[in-house]
Structure formats: structure tokens, C-alpha cells
Amino acid sequence: MQSIMQKQLNNSAIYEGVVTHCRLKPVLHSFQYKVFMMFIDLSEVEKIFKDYNKILGEEGSQLFTNQRANYLPLMWDHYNHRQQPFRFASEFDKQVAGPSGKFQFNRRGVFADINAGLVKNYKIRAGMDDPSELVRVYGFAASKALATRSLLTHLEKHKVNNKALMFRSVKNNVDMTDYDEFIHPYFEGKGAVFVHKGMHRSLRMVFDATEEQAFMGALFTTNLMMKRLAVGFSFFHAGALVESMWFAGNKLNFIKKTLDPRKKPELLEMVNNPNKAIKDYKTAIDQLKASGYGDVVRFAQGTGLQITTPEDIGFDRFYFNLRGIDTFFKNHFGVSSNGQVEKVFRWFDRITWDRVFTAAKLHTFLQVLDSPKLKGVPNTLVIKPGDTIGQIYAKASKAAQFTNDAFGGQNWEQVANRIRTPWVKQLAQTTLRPGSRGYMQLLLFAPDWTISNVRIIAKSLPGFESDPQTRRLYQYYFARAALTYAVAGSALNYMFSGHSILENTDPTRIDLGNGEVLTFSKQLMEPFHWITAPQSTGLKKIGSLPRTVIEVLTNKDYLTTKYSPNMTRKDDSAIEKGLAIGGHVGKRFLPIWLQQASASVEQGLLKEGLSLDLAADTSVDFVLGQLGHPRYKGPRYTQYKTKGLVRSPYETLF
């Protein structure tokens, strides 16, 4: 082991070394990779942060003026993730530090000791009492701050037609009509900042403020909680991701390995050990390493592959509010889950996002770059010996784009900036920037998934994708999905209803033979639903909160362009109406599978009372809801002419 930090400190150090392993039986196997470990002497923690201050503070790069105040939002459990850290730090200064003790009119005092926050009833976030974690978080925050400064410096120094892309103040010798003021909390108190109009929307995509006003923040949070609870305690997303894995051409052995709870997530192993190679794609990985890309995961992210949790999921905000709800019930009613509810949610999230989502996207990305042929057709996106860095990056970017569309989790900046039509690009840059995406989630239940599902089918057509090789990837996905539906969907339809799927009132769904239908694949069928029934599909895709509000205002059990029963009746008393409306609203906060199961129980009890059929129906709703395929009432009318294809195909077609 070699210390790389002991020059400044006596004991604390970052130790760098190599781990090796060799096994002779039952088969010869060995590996070797670099590791580093932090060894921190608790008596030297203060000195470590003082050294940080020398490097990054007023004596060094001048990233901050007070070393502790700059990492406060990351430390405290009271920090709400929908609030800008700048605002939290300002409020913390007022409540804890207060005015300067030396000069009362000074802007703020200095927060010198963490106990000052504890005295004011601030609670340290779990894990932040670990000195090594503090050092890690502080270093990560400093690296992001340096990256931000580097971006701003580049914008100020880089010139186009002898004009800088950004000014810190109005310039008398420059035509300011070409510039817009760029307002952001980062520049608060630092004077006006102006950026070139051509850069303004692109800069917003990566440097936008996401803090909301109190009212809009409450709406966004309520909508998020309703959505997350609706798909919570289930494999709703995981089931859809497994479908996409099959449609994208992933092998059954890989799908089985991904779902095996005994296997450690492969991505986690690659993050911990960049030298680990996935045997299935050895050719592509070897070519990447030969070109200098040793860390495959970082390379994939650099080309636009999003293998972090989709923004729709809202991890931080959801768990922050979940803990707040638990605290509320504990303080007012003496009831608490003691974090057990959060543990269950995190268990489902680990399977869905840490295991299935990340592994599926990384494997699909590498598969595109590794496979010499796609269904017998040469794959021009495969990485070959002799490819330049530019060629490798171009191929990988297309593979990342296809993978993001297949599994969701979009790189919104990349999506907007790849649009070539000027007015569409401006619309996308305005709609998809961070400050606007909360409104998108009010408009649509899951905008990321909806846009991805439409793109993965639409881009198989020439009018939506100009590059023939990239288009072939989408066509392969669509063909595999359609063939799966034609075979498996038809088999299920015959099993339940005894007739062809083409004879269904709605051929995009499985007829269960009892007046109910089942959506076979949301990923495959959603684009067709938008084309064939845009109004009803749009109503179904509205965000959770707006949909519930509209249902209450219109007194409907559910939104549809056809008939929907009323929640209340005219002769109901005020108490009965209140209970009906309150129960309906409360039901919208329950998981989908529980909503379906409770509806089955209610109808069954009214019909026959307790029975084996009721137990069976409830069990079926539970299983189907868990897998993301709930049952619905079948449509009474059809707008499809597929029945004629079975009875008299010639007359139907001609």
C-alpha cells in the first residue's frame, strides 16, 4: 500500500493498492484490480477540512468564503430537495448563525460549530456523522463547483464572431440586443449576467433552477406522491423493463441472471472495478479499452446513456416526504412505521432500478456496439479495430439514444439538442428544461415513459429517423415486439375467449372472455392507442393529481370519453357524498394492485358475499397488478375493422 495524502497529515491518508486473487480449483481463475481506501484519524478531521479550505477557499481557487456553510444542505435532514441549496443555506444562516457577533449590521455571522445547528433542533442526516462520508461528499461537491466554474469561464472567454458568449455586466461597446439576461440563484448578489441568445435555451438545459414557488411545489409534491404510491409495493416498472429487455434482443440467459436475487448486480461490480469485463461483449469492451476508454460505465454515460434513476421517480423528494408523513403520524397520533414502509419501497426500488434498469440498459448499449450482424444484416454500429475516437463516439451516441428510448430514462438535453427543425427545437428546449419538467409531470402520469414509448415505435419509420442503421435498430425492436404479441398474445386470447385476437372489440388488448380485457404490453401498444384513440388515451395519461381533481369536479369514477358512473347520487346526504368523495380521493393514493383488488372485493361482497370466487378474483388482481397488467372493463364498441380480416379478408381489404 502506498499513501498519497500523508505529506500534509500525520496519520490520515488515502491508501492506494492492488487486490489480487487466484483460485486453482475447480477451475483456474484469477483477477487483479486497483483499490483505494480512506484512513482517517478522527483527531485530524478538522485539519483535513482546513486543508480543503486552503485549496478551495480564499487562499486557493476561492470557491467559497466559509468552508462549513458550503456543505450544510447535504448534512441536514431538514434540507428539502425541491428547495435550492442556496435558499436553505441562507435560511440556515439567519436561524443558526444570525448576524455577526462583532458588527451587528454585518450580512451574516460565521457558523463555527456543528453544535450550533443541533441546539436549534436541526437533525443530522443519516450517515453524515461519518467523517469519511463527509470528506467524500465535500470532495464531490467541490468537484462539481469546479466544473461549474470551468463552464462559466469557457463561456466568458470563448468568442463567436468576436463576441463572448457570456458577460457579467452590460458592455457599452457590444450590441446587447444579441444577449438575454440569465437569472439563476448561483448568480444571486453577483450582478447581472447576460448570455448570447443562441446559447440561452441550451444553457437552461444543464444550468436551470428547479426551485418552485410554495403553491406549485405543493402541487408537484402531491402529484409525485400519488404517482409513486400508485406504482409502489409492486413490480409495475420492473415488469415493463423485462418486456423491453426481450424486445431489444437481450438473451434469455441474461434476463434470467438479472432477475436472480442471488446474483450481485453486474453494474455495481463494474463501478467498483472498472477493469471488470462482461464476457458477452468482450470484443466491444476490448476495442474501447484499446482506444483509451478503460471505464466502460463512465464512457457509456459520457455518450448520453442514462443509467441513473429516471427523473419521474423522484427518489429524494419522495423519501423526504415519506419520512415527513411518518413523523406527522408519530407526533400527532403516536403511530409510526419506524421506517419499515420506506424499507419496503427501497427494496422494490433496488430491484427495479439498481438491478433490472441499469443492467438492461448497459447490456443493450454494449450489445449494439458488439454485434456484427442484426438478424443477418451487417451492423454498421459495431466498433471495429481502426475506428477513430470520433467514429467510436458517434456510434456509441446512437446506441445510447436507442437504449434510452427502449427503456426510458431520457437524456433530455441530448433529445432537445438533436432536433434540427428550429421551432421544434426551441419548443423542446423550453419544455424539457429542468424548471419545466415538473409541469410535464402534472400534464402526463409518466412523461419520460410516454415519450420513450412513442419514440421507440415512431423512429422505426423513415420520417422520424433519417439514419438507416439507427432506424434498423428500432425496426428490429418493433418487429420482435409485434411477433411476440402475435404469438403469445394470440395464444392467451384463444385460451381465455376461444377466438382470434383480431376478432376482439379492441385487438390491442387480450379479451379475457368475461367482459374484461388485459393490456399485453404497455410499451408496444401505447403508440397505437395514441393514434387510434387520442382523446381517451390523453385522459388516461393525465397526471395523478389533475386527474383526481377533474374526477371530483365532474363527479365521475374515472375519466373517459365514453360513459363513466357517478361517484355520488342526487339523493345522497351530505355525509354520504363526503364519504364517497373522500374514499375516492384516498383510493388514488393506494397502489394500483390494491385499488383493483379492493374494487373486486367491494363488487364481490355486494353480489355474493364471501366466496371462493371472490378470493380467486382478489388473488388474480393482486398478481396482475404486481406485474403491471391490471384488468379493465372491455369496450362495448369498436373502431377497428380487424374482425373482417378473419371472416372475409378480401372484402375488408379491397
| Confidence label for 402 from pLDDT (cuts 50, 70 and 90) | very high
Percent of the chain with pLDDT over 70: 78
Give pLDDT, residue 309. Answer: 72
Instruction: Give the highest mean pLDDT range of 22-26, 217-221, 321-325, 645-649.
Output: 321-325
Confidence (pLDDT) at 405: 92
**Tell me, what's the pLDDT at 399?**
92
The 10s digit of each residue's pLDDT in 316-353 is: 778 888 888 888 888 888 888 888 888 888 888 888 88
Asked if 429 and 198 touch (Cβ cutoff 8 Å), the reply is: no
List of residues 6+ apart from 297 with CB closer than 8 A: 267, 270, 271, 274, 307, 362
Q: At 398, is the pLDDT very low, low, confident or very high (cuts 50, 70, 90)?
A: very high
Return the ∠ at Cα 457 (arms to 650 and 297), rounded to 5°. Answer: 150
How confident is the model over 528-582, as pLDDT tens digits? 888 878 888 888 889 888 999 998 989 888 888 777 888 888 888 888 888 888 8
Residue 72's pLDDT band (boundaries 50, 70, 90)? low
More confident residue, 578 or 71: 578
Residue that wins the pLDDT comparison between 622 and 255: 255
Q: Residue 186 pLDDT more than 80?
A: no
Distances (CA, A) of 14 to 35, 211, 270, 500: 10, 37, 21, 67
Half-sphere exposure of 456 (CA within 13 A, CB side): 32
Give me the mean pLDDT over the 579-607 stretch.
79
Distance, C-alpha 588 to centroid of its chain? 22
- Judged against a pLDDT cut of 80, whether residue 184 lies above it is answered with no
Confidence of residue 403 (pLDDT cuts 50, 70, 90): very high
* Euclidean distance between CA atoms 398 and 590, whole angstroms: 39
pLDDT, mean of residues 480-494: 88
Tell me the average pLDDT across 469-492.
88
Residue at 494: amino acid letter = Y
Looking at per-residue confidence, does 635 or 247 come out higher? 247
Instruction: Express each pLDDT in 232-283 by its tens digit.
Output: 778 888 888 898 999 988 888 888 888 887 776 665 566 556 555 566 788 8
Q: Are 591 and 232 in contact (CB under 8 A)?
A: yes
Phi/psi of residue 372, nearest 5 degrees: -70, -25
Measured distance CA(654)–CA(651) in Å, rounded: 5
**Span 469-491, average pLDDT:** 89
Residue ranges of alpha helices (H) inside 57-128 are: 72-75, 85-92, 115-119
374 and 409 in contact (C-beta within 8 Å)? Answer: no
Distance (Å, rounded) from C-alpha 306 to C-alpha 409?
6
**pLDDT at 358 > cutoff 70:** yes
Give me the pLDDT at residue 395, please. 92
**Of 365, 376, 381, nearest in space to 469 by CA:** 381
- Please give the pLDDT value at position 397: 92
pLDDT tens digits, 275-311: 555 667 888 888 888 888 877 888 888 888 988 777 6
More confident residue, 387 or 119: 387
Give the Cα separation of 419 and 205 in Å (integer).
14
pLDDT score of 37 more than 80:
no
Higher-pLDDT residue of 510 and 103 is 510
The amino acid that residue 319 corresponds to is Y
pLDDT over 70 (residue 638): no
- Residues 168, 180: contact at Cβ < 8 Å? no
Give me the chain's average pLDDT, please: 77
Tell me the CA distances in angstroms from 24 to 27, 169, 275, 276, one per residue in order.
6, 69, 21, 20
Assigned C-alpha cell, 341 = 414502509
Question: pTM of the predicted model, to two decimals?
Answer: 0.71
What percent of the chain is predicted at pLDDT more than 90? 3
pLDDT(74) > 70:
no
Res 147: pLDDT: 74
Mean pLDDT over residues 510-528, rounded?
82
Please give the span between the terminal C-alpha atoms of the chain, in angstroms, as a whole number: 79
